[in-house]
C-alpha cells in the first residue's frame, strides 16, 4: 500500500490530489463526493474583485438610478437589502464547505486593487480558509511599462497580503515570465509559501461572421501538461517553495509525472468537471498503482526525482525542445 | 393604569412609512393591491415580512398581494371573519373597488382599521395626486372616517384607529393626503412596541377573535333578509355609531397619557374668541394653522377647526371645540361633488349646526360658507387661507367658492395675493431642480435624515416628479427650522436654489423662487470663467435682479472621475452643506460619509468607495462666479414650443411645459377632458447626451434601427429623389437598394435629435460594420451638442418628405418600418420594451385605429400631460385613444366595438335607403368588405365621393348618411394594456370579451410585473423571478394566458418578441387584424424592472426565446378549416439553458445571491416548466382538430 499523505503549505493532506479552482466548488455535494473519492484539499472557485466591483456598480447603475425618480414608484425592484454583491456569498459557500468536509479548504483570490486584495484576503482568512491562492493575472497592453515594473508590483502585492494574513499564501502564476525561477525566488522572499503553475485563461477567438471577438473557456487536456512539467522540473530544483501543478492533469499517470517533476500537490479541475467529482478515485487508484509498481512507498519519495537536478538527462529540461526533436528525427531517419 | 412609555428618538420618514409601521405591528393579515400613492405602505409591509419582522405578538404578519383591490377587500373580509387582526392600504379607484366589502365589514360591526393615502378619483382624467374625492365616496359605507394632516398625526391616528375599532366595533378608514402627506418626509417621533401594546386592549382583541367563525360554535353571517327584518336589523347597529366618538376620544386620552401628544375628534387652533373660523381636514389644516398663527400675530380674531373624525359625525365634540364667539364659519372641502347643495364636510357641518341651534345648544347660526380647494394636490397656501378669511368679513361674502384656481367660467374663485409670504427667516428653504436619474431626490432624502435625526432642527422634504419615465425632472423642496414645520405647500421663496442640470435653465424659470440675496448652485461642465456668458438673458436678469450669489461645480466631471457616471448625488449634497451652512462643514462631511456607508454599503464597498472619492473631491470643485452689475447676454431662452405650433399648443401646452400650468384659467380647458393628439412633437426635450448618427456608406437598409426604437426617434423613409431639391446641407440619403420595386428611389435613416433618449438600442442592433474598422457601425453614437443643429434641420426636412408609395408592397418587418409611425416621442423609459409594439400598431393600422388603454405605464406615456404621443398623418387621421380605468379596459374596448358596429350598420341601412339615387358602382364598392392594403385609401375616396353626392340630396336620410358616412370606413379596435391588467385585475373582463366572438384585438404588453407602480409581482411574473411581494423568488409558474385563450377555439392567439423576432411580430399583428373574431397577442416587453441594461434587451429577449421561457407561436383558428393544426410554433425547441437567461437579469440573480439553494430549486423548476410547456405546445402544433360543422 502506497502512502499518499503529503504536506503542502504546512497543511497535512491525505493525498496530493486536490480539487483545483473551478465552478465544481460551488456545489457542496460535489466537493463532498470528491473528498469521499480521496481528494486531499479543495481550492474554491476564484473570488474576482473586478467582478464584484463591476456587479456592485451595475446594480448601482441599473437599480439605484431608478430609486426616487418616479412619482408612482419609489423603486422598481424589491428592497435591495436582501442581497449582497460583495464577498458574502463566497464566504457563505466557504463556511458551508468547511462545515461539510474535513480536508483543508483553500480560498482563491483574484484582486484588482491593492486595498481590495488585502481586504478580501483578511475576510477569507477570518471566514476560515486554510490557505489563500492568489491569482496574479496581468495582461500587458501598455507599451510603456517594463516587465520588471510589472513583477515588482506583483511582488509588493504578495508581500502586503502575506503580511496581512497569518494563513499560508500560494501564488498561481501565468506561464508568461521571462525568468520564472528568479521571480519565484523573490516570491519566497516576500512571504509566499508556494506557487502553482500554471493558470489557464479565457481564450479570445475571432468570429468571422460578425467581425467580433469571442471568449471561450475550454477544458484542459493532458496535452497541456508538458508545459507544467517543464516548469515544475526547473522550480523543483531551484525553489524551496511548495509547488502545485495545475492544468492538464487528467489521469493518475499525469499526476505521477507532475510529482516526479517536483509537485507537492496536483490540482484536478477540468477532469472533474468532465467526469464528475468521483473521478478523483480513478486518478488516485492509477497513481497508487503506478507508484506501487515502481516501488515507491510514498508519494513524497517520488517527488522531484526527475527535476532539473535529479533527471538522468538534465539537459532535456534545458535545451530547446525543437532541437531535440529535430535531432531525434535525424537520427532515426538516417538522413545525412 | 397606563404608564408613559419613553418615546424612541425622532426619525425622518413619510406618512406612508409611519403608518405602515403601526399597521404592520398591529396586524396579523395584510391583504393589498398596489395603487399610487399608497403602494409604498404595502411594500414596506412586504419587505418587513420578508425579513421576518414580528408584529406586537411575535408573529410575522401574512402579507398577501391580491389580483385587485376588490380581491384585497374580499380577503380582508374573510380574514376578519376568521378572527384575524387585519388591515389594508389603498387609494382612489382602489378604494372604490373596496366599497362593496366595506359595506359588509361595517354592517357586520367588524373591528378593522385601514389606511388610505387619499387620491383623486378619475373623472374627466386620471390623476395620481391627492384630494378627498376617494374617501368621500366611501362615506356611505358605514366606516368611520379619521383624517390626519401630517406624518406624525398619521402615525398617531393610525395607532388610535387600530385601538378604537377594537373597542367600538365600527371599522375605521384612516386617511391622509396623497403625496403631500404620504410622501412628505418630516421628523416623526415613532411609537414604541410597548406604547402600542398598552394602547391595544387585550380584552377587545380577545373579543374580536371570539367573534371568528368557528365550527365549534357555529353561526352564519350574511343571511338574506326580507322586508320584515332588514330595516330593524340595520338600525340595531346604531348604538355602536352613537358611542363611537366617545370611545375615540377616550382612546385619544389614553394616547396622550402614553405619549404626551394630544388629539381630539375636533382640534381647534386659534383665538379663543375667534369671530372667523375655517373648518377643514387633512394637510390643508396645517397650512391653515400656520396662517392663523400669522394672522393672530396681526391682531385678527381667527381660528381653524381641524376635523379628525368626519364620520360618525359628533355634534357634541364639535360644540366642545368650537368657540362660541364664531360669527362666520367657512368649511373647506378638498373634493368636488358636482351638483350637490354643498360638498360633504359643509353639508355635515351645516346639518349639525342647524340642529344645534334648534336644540338650543348654540345661540345662533354662524354665517356659513363652503369652498373647494386643493383638488389633485393643487397648491393650498397661506395666501389662499388669508383670502378665505378676508372674504368672510367682506361686505358680501361668497356662500360658495373655489380657491387656488382662476375660474373665469363660473366665476367661483376667490382672488388671492400671490406675493404674500409668511414664512419666517429662521426657516432655511432650499429648492433643488434635478433629473430623475441623477440621484437628487435620494440625496435630499439623505440630507433630511442627517439634519432631522442628528440635529435639533425640524426638517421637511417634499418632492415633485414629472410624468416622464426617461429624462424626467424632479423638484425637491427642503425646509429646516427650529420649530415644527406646518408649511404644506411648495417653497415660494428659497434662500438656496440648486440647479442640477444646466439644461433646466433653458426650459423654465427655475430662479423665479429665489429670494433676494439667494445662493444659486449650478451644476455645469462649463468652467467658472465661462459660465456667465453661457447663461440666457433671462437667467442673467434673474441673478442680477435677485442679487444672487452664483456657485458652480462640474458635478458630472467629479462623479465621472470617481467612477460614478452621471450620479452626482453625493457631489451636490456636499455642495448643499457647504453653501447652506445648516451644519458646520466638518460635522456635515462626517454625517454625509456615514450616510453614504449606511445607504450604499449594503451591497458591498465599491459604491461607497467611489462616493467617498466624489465626496472628497467635491469641495475643491466648487467655485463662486462673480455676477456683473447687469445682464450681458444677447441670447434669450428659446420658446418651449415652436412659434408655428397650433393654437392650443401655444395657449395651453406651452404653459404646462414652462411649469406655469397653475396660471391657466378654467376657460383654457375642454370641460369634458377631451384633448388633442400629436402634442409630443412640440416638446423638444433634448435629453440624450449622445445620439445615433447615420453612416450611409455602411447601411444595409435593413430598418432594424427604426423597428426597435422605443421613441420613434429614428425613422427610415423611401422617397422620390426629386424631393431632394431644397434639402438642407448635410442631409444624407442614398439610393434605395433593398427592394426592387422601389428602384430609383432614395432611402434615408434620420434621427430626431431632440426626441432621442440616447438608449443606444438602434446602434446595438445595427448589423452593418465597417470591414476596415469594425468598431464603426452604420449608426455611430455621437454627442448631441456637436450634431444637434445639423440633425434638427435634417429631421425637419425628413418629416416633410413624402413617402414613396409603399402601400402595394407586401407588409413585412422591413416595409412595416417604412410606414409612418403615429405614435412618437413618448415619455416612456429609455429602452422601453412596450412602445415599439404600439409604434408598429400605428404603422399598420394607425389611420383607422381605436385604442382602449388600460391604466398603467402605457396610459401614462400614452396619455399623461403635458404632451402625448399618439398623432395624426397629413390627412389628419390617426389613432383615437381612451383610457377608462385599470380593471375595465377589455370591456371598454368591447363597448367601442359594439358602438362602431352599430354605427356601421346604421350607415349601411341609410346607404341602402339612398342607394337607388346613387351610382351603382359606388354603392357596390361601398358594400365590399375589407380588402388589401389599398382598401382603406380607396374606401376613404369612396366615402368622400358619397358625401359630395349626398350634398345634392335634400332627403333626411341623405343628411343622416352624410353624418354617419365615416362609419363606412372600417375601424380597427385594439385593447391595449399591461400584464397587471390582463393577467390580474382585468382578467375576468378580458376572458369575457375574448369569449364574446366580437372583432376586437387585444395587445398585452407583458413586462411580467406591475411596472408603473414599481415592480410588484403579477400572475405574469415568471417562476424564479424576484419582484415585490415575491422577494424570495416566485415559486409558481407564469400564468399561460395564451393557452387559456386558445381553449375557446375561436380566438386568434400569438406570443411575440419584437426585439428579437420582428418578422413574426408583424405577421401576428396582421393575422390578428385579419382574423374575423377576437384576437390576443401577448408581447414580451423588456422593462427596467427586470434589472439589466436595456441596451442589451434584444440579446436578452433572444435568450428568453432560445431557452424556452418565451416561446413564439401563432394560434389561428382558421387553420382548422384548412385541415391544419391551429398552432404554429415559431421558435425552435429550447436550445439554451434557462440559467443563461436568468443569470443576466437582476430579478433572478438577486434570488441566487440571497439564497443559492432556493435559486437552484427554482431554476430546476423553471427548467421543468420550460420542458413541459414546450412538450405541450409541440404536441398541440401537431394535432388534428376536426373542422366545425356548419349548423347553418
So where are chain A's domains?
A: 6-305, 308-336
Sign of CA dihedral B1100, B1102, B1108, B1110: positive
What is the C-alpha to C-alpha distance for residues B103 and B139, in angstroms, rounded to an integer? Answer: 10
Active site residue B209: no
Say if the Cβ atoms of A73 and B602 lie within 8 Å.
no
Specify the pLDDT at position B4. 54
Size of interface A-B (CB pairs under 8 A): 150
Tell me the mean pLDDT per 10 residues along chain B, length 1192.
66 98 98 97 95 97 98 98 98 98 98 98 97 98 98 98 98 98 97 97 98 97 97 98 98 98 98 98 98 98 98 98 97 97 98 96 95 98 98 96 98 96 95 92 95 95 92 95 97 97 92 96 96 97 97 96 91 96 94 92 87 96 96 94 94 94 97 96 93 97 97 97 96 95 96 96 96 95 96 97 91 96 96 98 97 97 96 96 98 98 97 96 90 85 96 94 95 98 98 96 98 96 96 96 97 97 98 96 97 94 97 97 96 95 93 89 97 97 82 48
Specify the pLDDT at position B808. 83
Residues in chain A: 336
Fold of B678-796: Alpha-Beta Plaits (3.30.70)
More confidently predicted of B701 and A78: B701
What is the C-alpha to C-alpha distance for residues B53 and B84, in angstroms, rounded to an integer? Answer: 18
Specify the pLDDT at position B209. 98
Active site residue B119: yes
A51 touches B: beta carbon within 8 Å: no
Specify the pLDDT at position B3. 52
Specify the pLDDT at position A134. 96
Active site residue B12: no
Task: Quote the CATH superfamily of domain A6-305.
Answer: Aldolase class I (3.20.20.70)
How many of the other CB atoms lie within 10 Å of CB of A244?
A: 29
What is the C-alpha to C-alpha distance for residues B675 and B672, in angstroms, rounded to an integer? Answer: 9
Active site residue B1073: no
Q: Give B-chain residues touching A26 at CB under 8 angstroms.
A: 1156
Judged against a pLDDT cut of 50, whether residue A330 lies above it is answered with no
How many of the other CB atoms lie within 10 Å of CB of B733?
A: 23
B445 touches A: beta carbon within 8 Å: yes
Specify the pLDDT at position A333. 38
Say if the Cβ atoms of B439 and A85 lie within 8 Å.
no
Measured in degrees and rounded to the nearest 5, phi and psi for residue A133 equal -110, 120
Nearest to B604 among A85, A211, A212 (CB): A85
Task: Tell me the sheet residues that pair with A310.
Answer: none
A83 touches B: beta carbon within 8 Å: yes
How many of the other CB atoms lie within 10 Å of CB of A23?
A: 10
- Cα–Cα distance list, B831 to B434, B783, B1095 (Å): 21, 18, 6
CATH of B972-1180, one of 3.40.50.970, 3.40.50.300, 3.10.50.30, 3.30.930.10: 3.40.50.970
Say if the Cβ atoms of B1089 and A76 lie within 8 Å.
yes
Same fold, B277-414 and B678-796: no
Specify the pLDDT at position A335. 36
> Where is average pLDDT lowest: A122-126, A310-314, B342-346, B828-832?
A310-314
Residue B914 CA from chain centroid, whole number = 50
Q: How far apart are the first and last CA of chain A?
A: 51
Q: Does domain B428-457+485-625 have CATH number 3.40.50.10190?
A: no
Say if the Cβ atoms of B1011 and A76 lie within 8 Å.
yes
B673 touches A: beta carbon within 8 Å: no
Q: How confident is the model at residue A1 (pLDDT cuts 50, 70, 90)?
A: confident
B1136 near B1093, Cβ under 8 Å?
Answer: no
Q: How confident is the model at residue A250 (pLDDT cuts 50, 70, 90)?
A: very high
Measured between CA atoms, the residue of chain A closest to residue B774 is: A211
What is the C-alpha to C-alpha distance for residues A153 and A115, in angstroms, rounded to an integer? Answer: 14
Specify the pLDDT at position A325. 45
Say if the Cβ atoms of B472 and A93 lie within 8 Å.
no
Nearest to A84 among B769, B771, B1153 (CB): B1153
Nearest to A65 among B464, B567, B602 (CB): B567
Measured in degrees and rounded to the nearest 5, phi and psi for residue B431 equal -115, 135
Fold of B11-216+236-258: Rossmann fold (3.40.50)
A191 touches B: beta carbon within 8 Å: no
Can you give chain A as a three-state secondary structure string?
A: CCECCEEECCEEECCCEEECCCHHHHCHHHHHHHHHCCCCCEEEEEEEHHHHHHHHHHHHHHCHHHCCCCCCCCCCCCCHHHCCCCCHHHHHHHHHHHHHCCCCEEEEEECCCHHHHHHHHHHHHHCCCCEEEEECCCCCCCCCCCHHHHHHHHHHHHHHHHHHCCCCEEEEECCCCCCHHHHHHHHHHCCCCEEEECCCCCEEEEECCCCEEEEECCCCCHHHHHHHHHHHHHHHHHCCCEEEEECCCCCHHHHHHHHHHCCCEEEECHHHHHHCCCHHHHHHHHHHHHHHHHCCCEHHHHCCCCCCCCCCCCHHHHCCHHHHHHHHHHHHHCCC
ipTM: 0.92
What is the C-alpha to C-alpha distance for residues B468 and B378, in angstroms, rounded to an integer? Answer: 20
Specify the pLDDT at position A55. 85
Measured between CA atoms, the residue of chain B closest to residue A76 is: B1014
Question: What architecture (CATH level 2) is domain B277-414?
Answer: 3-Layer(aba) Sandwich (3.40)
Query: Mutating which of B602, B978, B1137 best tests the A interface, going by the most A Cβ atoms within 10 A?
Result: B602
Q: Where do the domains of chain B lie?
A: 11-216+236-258, 277-414, 428-457+485-625, 639-665, 678-796, 890-968, 972-1180
Say if the Cβ atoms of A62 and B1091 lie within 8 Å.
yes
Report the SS3 class of residue B523: strand
Judged against a pLDDT cut of 60, whether residue A329 lies above it is answered with no
Q: Of residues B12, B16, B25, B36, which has the active-site annotation?
A: B36
Nearest to B565 among A61, A73, A212 (CB): A61
Say if the Cβ atoms of A81 and B602 lie within 8 Å.
yes
- Decide: residue B613, CB within 10 A, 0-12 exposed, 13-18 middle, 19+ buried: middle
Q: How confident is the model at residue A207 (pLDDT cuts 50, 70, 90)?
A: confident
Q: Of residues B43, B69, B343, B791, which has the active-site annotation?
A: B69
Give the B window 113-152 contacts with A, CB below 8 Å.
128
- Cα–Cα distance list, B634 to B25, B242, B550, B684 (Å): 62, 71, 20, 22
Q: Give B-chain residues touching A73 at CB under 8 angstroms.
A: 39, 1012-1015
Q: How confident is the model at residue A79 (pLDDT cuts 50, 70, 90)?
A: confident
Specify the pLDDT at position B224. 97
Specify the pLDDT at position B5. 54
Residue B950 exposure: Cα atoms within 13 Å on the Cβ side: 25
A294 touches B: beta carbon within 8 Å: no
Nearest to A56 among B437, B442, B606 (CB): B606
A140 touches B: beta carbon within 8 Å: no
Say if the Cβ atoms of A80 and B603 lie within 8 Å.
yes
Judged against a pLDDT cut of 50, whether residue A326 lies above it is answered with no
Amino acid at each position: 500500500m502506497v502512502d499518499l499523505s503529503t504536506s503542502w503549505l504546512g497543511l497535512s493532506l491525505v493525498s496530493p490530489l486536490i480539487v483545483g479552482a473551478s465552478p465544481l466548488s460551488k456545489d457542496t455535494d460535489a466537493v463532498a463526493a470528491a473528498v469521499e473519492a480521496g481528494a486531499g484539499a479543495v481550492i474554491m472557485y476564484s473570488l474576482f474583485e473586478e467582478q464584484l466591483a463591476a456587479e456592485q456598480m451595475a446594480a448601482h447603475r441599473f437599480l439605484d438610478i431608478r430609486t426616487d425618480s418616479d412619482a408612482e414608484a419609489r423603486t422598481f425592484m424589491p428592497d435591495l437589502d436582501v442581497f449582497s454583491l460583495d464577498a458574502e456569498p463566497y464566504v457563505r459557500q466557504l463556511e458551508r464547505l468547511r462545515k461539510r468536509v474535513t480536508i483543508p479548504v483553500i480560498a482563491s483570490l483574484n484582486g484588482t486593487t491593492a486595498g481590495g486584495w488585502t481586504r478580501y484576503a483578511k475576510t477569507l482568512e477570518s471566514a476560515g480558509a486554510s490557505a489563500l491562492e492568489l491569482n496574479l493575472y496581468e495582461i500587458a497592453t501598455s507599451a510603456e511599462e517594463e516587465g520588471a515594473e510589472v513583477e515588482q508590483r506583483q511582488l509588493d502585492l504578495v508581500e502586503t497580503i502575506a503580511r496581512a494574513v497569518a494563513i499560508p499564501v500560494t501564488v498561481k502564476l501565468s506561464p508568461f515570465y521571462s525568468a520564472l525561477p528568479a521571480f519565484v525566488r523573490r516570491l519566497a522572499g516576500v512571504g509566499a509559501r508556494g506557487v502553482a503553475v500554471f493558470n489557464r485563461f479565457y481564450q479570445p477567438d475571432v468570429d468571422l461572421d460578425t467581425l467580433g471577438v469571442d471568449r471561450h473557456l475550454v477544458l484542459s487536456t493532458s496535452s497541456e501538461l508538458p508545459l507544467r512539467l517543464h516548469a515544475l522540473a526547473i522550480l523543483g530544483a531551484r525553489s524551496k517553495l511548495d509547488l502545485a501543478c495545475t492544468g492538464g492533469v487528467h489521469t493518475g499517470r499525469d499526476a505521477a509525472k507532475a510529482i516526479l517533476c517536483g509537485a507537492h500537490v496536483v490540482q484536478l479541475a477540468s477532469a472533474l468537471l468532465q467526469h464528475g467529482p468521483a473521478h478523483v478515485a480513478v486518478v488516485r487508484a492509477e497513481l497508487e498503482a503506478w507508484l506501487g509498481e515502481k516501488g515507491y512507498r510514498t508519494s513524497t519519495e517520488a517527488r522531484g526525482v526527475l527535476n532539473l537536478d535529479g533527471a538522468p538527462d538534465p539537459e532535456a529540461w534545458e535545451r530547446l525542445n525543437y532541437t531535440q526533436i529535430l535531432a531525434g528525427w535525424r537520427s532515426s531517419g538516417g538522413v545525412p | 393604569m397606563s404608564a408613559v412609555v419613553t418615546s424612541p428618538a425622532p426619525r425622518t420618514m413619510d406618512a406612508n412609512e409611519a403608518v405602515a409601521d403601526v399597521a404592520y405591528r398591529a396586524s396579523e393579515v395584510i391583504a393589498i393591491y398596489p395603487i399610487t400613492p399608497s403602494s409604498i405602505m404595502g411594500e414596506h409591509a412586504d419587505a418587513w415580512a420578508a425579513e421576518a419582522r414580528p408584529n406586537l405578538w411575535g408573529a410575522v404578519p401574512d402579507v398577501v398581494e391580491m389580483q385587485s383591490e376588490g380581491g384585497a377587500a374580499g380577503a380582508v373580509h374573510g380574514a376578519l371573519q376568521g378572527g384575524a387582526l387585519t388591515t389594508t392600504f389603498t387609494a382612489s379607484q382602489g378604494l372604490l373597488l373596496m366599497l362593496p366589502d366595506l359595506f359588509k365589514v361595517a354592517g357586520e360591526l367588524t373591528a378593522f382599521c385601514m389606511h388610505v393615502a387619499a387620491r383623486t378619483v378619475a373623472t374627466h382624467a386620471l390623476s395620481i395626486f391627492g384630494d378627498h374625492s376617494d374617501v368621500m365616496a366611501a362615506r356611505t359605507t358605514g366606516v368611520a372616517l379619521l383624517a390626519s394632516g401630517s406624518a406624525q398625526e398619521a402615525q398617531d391616528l393610525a395607532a388610535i384607529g387600530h385601538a378604537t375599532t377594537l373597542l367600538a366595533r365600527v371599522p375605521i378608514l384612516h386617511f391622509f393626503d396623497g403625496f403631500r402627506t404620504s410622501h412628505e418626509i418630516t421628523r416623526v417621533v415613532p411609537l414604541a412596541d410597548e406604547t402600542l401594546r398598552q394602547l391595544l386592549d387585550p380584552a377587545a382583541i380577545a373579543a374580536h377573535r371570539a367573534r371568528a367563525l368557528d365550527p365549534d360554535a357555529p353561526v352564519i353571517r350574511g343571511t338574506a333578509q326580507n322586508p320584515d327584518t332588514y330595516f330593524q336589523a340595520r338600525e340595531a347597529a346604531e348604538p355602536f355609531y352613537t358611542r363611537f366618538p366617545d370611545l375615540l376620544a377616550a382612546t385619544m386620552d389614553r394616547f396622550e397619557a402614553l405619549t404626551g401628544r394630544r388629539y381630539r375628534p375636533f382640534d381647534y387652533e386659534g383665538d379663543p374668541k375667534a369671530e372667523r373660523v375655517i373648518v377643514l381636514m387633512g394637510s390643508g389644516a396645517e397650512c391653515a394653522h400656520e396662517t392663523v398663527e400669522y394672522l393672530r400675530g396681526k391682531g385678527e380674531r381667527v381660528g381653524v377647526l381641524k376635523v379628525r373624525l368626519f364620520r360618525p359625525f359628533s355634534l357634541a365634540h364639535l360644540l366642545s371645540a368650537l368657540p362660541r364667539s364664531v360669527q362666520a364659519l367657512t368649511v373647506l372641502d378638498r373634493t368636488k361633488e358636482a351638483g350637490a347643495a354643498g360638498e360633504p364636510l359643509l353639508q355635515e357641518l351645516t346639518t349639525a349646526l342647524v340642529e344645534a341651534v334648534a336644540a338650543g345648544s348654540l345661540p345662533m347660526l354662524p354665517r356659513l360658507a363652503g369652498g373647494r380647494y386643493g383638488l389633485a394636490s393643487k397648491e393650498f397656501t397661506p395666501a389662499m387661507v388669508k383670502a378665505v378669511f378676508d372674504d368672510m368679513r367682506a361686505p358680501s361674502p361668497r356662500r360658495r367658492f373655489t380657491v387656488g384656481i382662476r375660474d373665469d367660467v363660473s366665476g367661483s374663485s376667490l382672488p388671492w395675493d400671490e406675493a404674500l409670504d409668511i414664512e419666517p427667516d429662521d426657516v432655511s428653504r432650499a429648492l433643488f431642480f434635478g433629473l430623475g436619474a441623477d440621484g437628487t431626490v435620494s440625496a435630499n432624502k439623505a440630507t433630511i435624515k442627517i439634519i432631522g435625526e442628528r440635529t435639533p432642527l425640524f426638517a421637511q422634504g417634499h418632492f415633485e416628479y414629472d410624468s416622464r419615465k426617461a429624462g424626467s425632472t424632479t423638484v425637491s423642496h427642503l425646509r429646516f427650522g427650529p420649530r415644527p414645520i406646518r408649511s404644506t405647500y411648495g417653497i415660494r421663496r428659497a434662500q438656496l436654489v440648486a440647479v442640477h442640470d444646466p439644461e433646466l435653465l433653458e426650459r423654465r424659470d427655475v430662479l423665479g423662487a429665489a429670494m433676494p440675496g439667494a445662493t444659486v448652485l449650478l451644476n455645469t461642465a462649463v468652467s467658472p470663467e465661462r459660465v456667465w456668458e453661457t447663461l440666457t438673458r433671462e437667467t442673467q436678469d434673474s441673478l442680477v435682479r435677485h442679487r444672487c450669489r452664483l456657485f458652480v461645480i462640474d458635478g458630472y466631471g467629479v462623479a465621472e472621475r470617481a467612477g460614478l457616471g452621471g450620479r452626482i448625488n453625493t457631489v451636490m449634497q456636499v455642495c448643499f452643506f457647504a453653501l447652506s451652512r445648516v451644519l458646520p462643514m466638518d460635522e456635515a462631511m462626517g454625517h454625509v460619509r456615514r450616510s453614504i456607508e449606511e445607504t450604499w454599503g449594503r451591497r458591498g464597498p465599491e459604491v461607497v468607495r467611489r462616493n467617498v472619492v466624489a465626496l472628497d473631491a467635491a469641495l475643491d470643485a466648487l467655485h463662486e462666479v462673480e455676477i456683473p452689475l447687469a445682464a450681458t447676454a444677447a441670447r434669450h431662452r428659446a420658446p418651449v414650443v415652436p412659434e408655428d405650433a397650433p393654437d392650443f399648443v401655444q395657449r395651453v401646452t406651452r404653459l404646462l411645459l414652462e411649469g406655469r400650468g397653475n396660471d391657466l384659467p378654467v376657460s383654457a380647458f375642454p370641460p369634458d377632458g377631451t384633448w388633442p393628439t400629436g402634442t409630443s412633437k412640440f416638446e423638444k426635450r433634448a435629453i440624450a447626451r449622445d445620439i445615433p448618427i447615420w453612416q450611409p456608406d455602411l447601411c444595409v437598409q435593413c430598418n432594424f434601427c427604426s423597428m426597435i426604437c422605443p421613441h420613434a426617434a429614428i425613422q427610415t423613409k423611401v422617397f422620390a429623389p426629386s424631393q431632394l431639391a431644397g434639402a438642407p446641407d448635410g442631409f444624407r440619403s442614398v439610393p434605395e437598394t433593398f427592394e426592387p420595386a422601389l428602384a430609383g428611389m432614395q432611402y434615408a435613416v434620420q434621427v430626431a435629435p431632440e426626441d432621442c433618449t440616447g438608449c443606444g438600442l438602434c446602434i446595438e442592433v445595427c448589423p452593418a460594420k465597417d470591414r476596415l474598422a469594425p468598431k464603426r457601425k452604420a449608426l455611430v453614437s455621437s454627442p448631441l451638442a456637436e450634431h444637434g443643429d445639423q440633425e434638427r434641420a435634417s429631421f425637419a426636412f425628413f418629416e416633410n418628405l413624402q413617402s414613396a408609395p409603399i402601400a402595394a408592397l407586401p407588409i413585412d418587418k422591413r416595409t412595416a418600418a417604412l410606414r409612418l409611425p403615429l405614435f412618437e416621442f413618448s415619455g416612456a423609459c429609455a429602452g422601453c420594451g412596450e412602445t415599439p409594439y404600439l409604434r408598429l400598431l400605428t404603422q399598420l393600422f394607425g389611420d383607422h385605429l381605436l385604442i382602449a388603454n388600460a391604466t398603467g405605464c402605457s396610459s401614462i406615456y400614452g396619455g399623461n400631460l403635458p404632451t402625448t404621443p399618439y398623432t395624426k398623418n397629413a390627412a389628419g387621421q390617426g389613432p383615437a385613444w381612451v383610457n377608462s380605468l385599470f380593471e375595465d379596459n377589455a370591456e371598454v374596448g368591447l363597448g367601442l366595438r359594439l358602438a362602431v358596429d352599430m354605427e356601421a350598420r346604421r350607415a349601411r341601412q341609410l346607404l341602402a335607403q339612398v342607394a337607388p339615387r346613387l351610382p351603382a358602382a359606388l354603392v357596390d364598392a361601398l358594400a365590399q368588405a375589407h380588402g388589401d392594403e389599398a382598401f382603406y385609401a380607396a374606401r376613404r375616396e369612396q366615402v368622400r365621393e358619397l358625401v359630395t353626392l349626398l350634398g345634392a340630396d335634400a332627403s333626411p336620410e341623405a343628411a343622416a348618411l352624410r353624418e354617419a358616412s365615416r362609419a363606412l370606413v372600417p375601424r380597427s379596435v385594439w385593447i391595449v394594456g399591461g400584464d397587471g391588467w390582463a393577467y390580474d385585475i382585468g382578467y375576468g373582463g378580458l376572458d369575457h370579451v375574448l369569449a364574446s366572438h366580437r372583432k376586437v384585438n387585444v395587445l398585452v404588453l407583458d413586462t411580467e410585473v406591475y411596472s408603473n407602480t414599481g415592480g410588484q409581482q403579477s400572475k405574469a411574473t415568471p417562476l424564479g423571478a424576484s419582484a415585490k411581494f415575491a422577494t424570495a423568488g416566485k415559486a409558481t409558474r407564469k400564468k399561460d394566458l395564451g393557452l387559456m385563450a386558445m381553449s375557446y377555439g375561436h380566438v386568434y392567439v400569438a406570443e411575440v418578441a419584437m426585439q428579437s423576432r420582428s418578422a413574426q411580430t408583424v405577421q401576428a399583428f396582421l393575422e390578428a387584424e385579419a382574423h374575423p373574431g377576437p384576437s390576443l397577442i401577448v408581447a414580451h416587453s423588456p422593462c427596467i424592472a427586470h434589472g439589466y441594461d436595456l441596451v442589451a434587451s434584444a440579446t436578452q429577449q433572444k435568450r428568453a426565446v432560445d431557452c424556452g421561457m418565451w416561446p413564439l407561436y401563432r394560434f389561428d383558428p382558421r387553420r382548422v378549416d384548412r385541415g391544419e393544426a391551429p398552432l404554429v410554433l415559431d421558435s425552435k425547441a429550447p436550445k439554451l439553458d434557462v440559467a443563461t437567461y436568468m443569470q443576466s437579469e437582476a430579478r433572478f440573480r438577486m434570488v441566487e445571491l440571497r439564497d443559492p439553494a432556493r435559486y437552484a430549486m427554482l431554476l430546476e423548476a423553471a427548467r421543468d416548466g420550460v420542458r413541459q410547456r414546450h412538450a405541450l405546445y409541440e404536441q398541440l402544433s401537431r394535432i388534428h382538430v376536426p373542422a366545425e360543422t356548419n349548423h347553418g
